[in-house]
Amino acid sequence: MATRTLGRVTKALLAPALALGATIGLASAPASAAVWSSCDQWGNTSLNGYTLYNNIWGSGAGSQCVWANSGTNWGVWANHPNTGGIKSYPNAKKVINKTITSLGSLNSSYNVTVPSSGSYNSSYDIWDTDYDYETMLWVNYNGAVGALGSFQQSVTLGGHSWNVYKGRAYRSDGTYWDVFSFLRTSDSTSGTVQILPILKWIKDTKGWMGNETIGDVQFGFEITSSSGGLDFQTNNLTVTSS
């Protein structure tokens, strides 16, 4: 895959409106009533210091609804057709706004429940404030999905072993941003990631970016297909920095 549209930034102005199929009711909300839910394409809310996005940004998408008990406990039901291309990235975002060198730590813990079918990844999406650099950390993935760009090497960083890919993604105006994808060498549904050592490795060891200001740390599910309707749940998520 050589190009893709800037959609995971979760700003409606950066991607064209999509012709979505009619959304249905929230198919698999938790047993207790959620404090927030949305089936809107760009549905979003702020809870407990996190911003939640439904974020249906890809072409050919189907129906998708997100619910949340809090900013760190939320889930999504998605019914996207079994076709190529990413359809959505429902996620929770924590804003950092610190340079790499000014950070003393940047850590996150995750615990998710994901389906055994479909094509998707559970991933962190980390952006600088100018959206020139995107760092993705795939903690698990399933089906017909793959990282943008070419394989670089395998490394152990931040408490995990990864296969690293480097690529370039293009916006509709011809400008681009660099994408660094770290794919965990084995699937995990829970764990803790030390994000700062990964960013320092990109900056200092590889020289792929400078002392960028880290803006958003997002965590969610990048869904390519979920035909028939599948459930994805973030049981717990924490993002902390110092």
Q: How many Å apart are CA 239 and CA 242, to the nearest integer?
A: 11
Q: How many Å apart are CA 172 and CA 156, to the nearest integer?
A: 35
Does any domain span residue 188? yes
Give Cα separations from 113 to 73, 75, 232, 236 (angstroms).
11, 9, 6, 10
Does any domain span residue 113? yes
Pull the structure tokens for residue 138: 């795939």
pLDDT averaged per 10 residues in sequence order, the chain, 242 residues: 40 36 45 84 97 97 98 97 96 98 98 98 98 98 96 98 97 95 98 98 98 98 98 98 98
Q: Identity (one letter) of the amino acid at 207? A: G
Does any domain span residue 162? yes
What's the structural domain count of the chain?
Answer: 1
| CATH number, position 73 | 2.60.120.180
Does any domain span residue 7? no
Does any domain span residue 5? no
Q: How many Å apart are CA 23 and CA 11, to the nearest integer?
A: 21
Q: How many Å apart are CA 165 and CA 169, to the nearest integer?
A: 13
H helix or E strand, kind and range, residue 199? helix 195-200
Domain of 49 in residue numbering reads as 12-241
For residue 200, give the DSSP letter: H
Does any domain span residue 222? yes
Please, are residues 63 and 23 in contact by the beta-carbon 8 Å criterion? yes
Please, are residues 75 and 231 in contact by the beta-carbon 8 Å criterion? yes
Output the pLDDT for position 30.
54
Pull the structure tokens for residue 2: 């050589």
> What are the backbone dihedrals phi and psi of residue 71, each rounded to the nearest 5 degrees, phi first?
-70, -15
Does any domain span residue 4? no
Does any domain span residue 1? no
